[in-house]
Structure 1
Amino acid sequence: MGIINFQGKRTKSQQKEATPILVSDYMSTKIITFTEDQPIEEVIETLIKHRISGGPVVNDANELIGIISEGDCIQQISESRYYNLPISKKNTVGKAMVKKVETINADMNIFDAAKQFLTSKRRRFPILKNGKLIGLISQKDVLKAAVQLKGSTWK
């Protein structure tokens, strides 16, 4: 006795060509930035007030020169306390920031950005255009993209 198939004739599904979801669709363009001469104490207050974990450091021409994070600030506090010194006005962003900054292209697919987050262990990436800071994408922005995609494309 043979196998009986009840599924019937299958037709090719007509799938729309998926439009790529880009970093530029989810990046933040209203960015809190810092300057290299700002005191660390001021940065800490800003991070707490705005509930952010760090931000880009720019010069007067809005060119990216570094990035400062909570961890960089904590290191400054730790070093001050180790030597039993108050946090000095001389402890500036320029002394604490990371100068070698990875960036992401605004035209990158959001899934490629997610992979870059995983491989780099970064929490945020600045986005540049012609050397100028135009946006910032965070891990949370990638999660927002995933949640919005789930409702429309994931079954």
Structure 2
Amino acid sequence: MGIKSYEGPRAEPKPDEVPLRVSDYMTRELITFDPDQAVEEVIEILIKNKISGGPVVNEGNELIGIISEGDCIKYICDSRYYNMPADSNSVSHCMVKNVETIDGNMNIFDAAKKFLEAKRRRFPIIDKGKLVGQISQKDILKATVQLKSQNWK
């Protein structure tokens, strides 16, 4: 009995080699802020580093909030505009405490959708209770440009 048709051994299908996880594109080297830091100092750091905000962490590198340009502007309006002393000039009184995070294993396209739904500019990434990175809208755009060069038609 002969072989009618032989195509050779079947190759194992290759998993998608293009990285699609948030952790592949997130920023790991972050500028973080201390809850006791003065808002004026935060403003100077934001301007100097050309960033729009950053995570607030405690001594154990656990995320406790986020402070943004908008939070700093609100602080200025509440104190300087009305020429009244602020209740406190520490980050802990101005930051957003209820912070939504993204899983580092999330697909970047799902993360892009989350950005649209939540109307946020950045999401921190937590692993085992510690801040490990941050993904921004710009990181998503960089990822899509890189992916397009690899596999989009």
Partner of 1:7: none
Stretches of structure 2 that go unaligned for 5 or more consecutive residues are 1-12
The whole-number CA distance in structure 2 between the counterparts of 1:39 and 1:81 is 15
Q: Which amino acid aligns with 1:121?
A: K
After superposition, what is the alpha-carbon deviation per residue over 1:70-123, rounded to whole angstroms, capped at 9, x for unaligned?
00000000111232136x693110000000000001111111100100000000
- Equivalences for 1:38-53 in 2 at 5 Å? 38-53=37-52
User: Once superposed, what is the RMSD of the aligned Cα atoms?
Assistant: 1.6
Give the structure 1 partner of residue 36 of structure 2: 37
Residue 97 of structure 1 corresponds to which residue in structure 2?
A: 95
Q: 1:26 — aligned with what?
A: 25
Q: Percent identity?
A: 66
Change in 2 beyond 3 A, CA 1:40/1:89: farther
Candidates 118, 121, 127, aligned match of 1:120: 118
**Which aligned pairs between 1:4-153 and structure 2 lie closer than 5 A?**
17-19=15-17, 21-85=20-84, 90-153=88-151
User: TM-score, normalization: structure 1?
Assistant: 0.85
Alignment coverage as a number of residue pairs: 140
Q: In 2, are the aligned partners of 1:39 and 1:89 still within 8 Å (CA)?
A: no
TM-score for the superposition, normalised by structure 2: 0.86
4+ residue runs of structure 1 moved beyond 3 angstroms? none
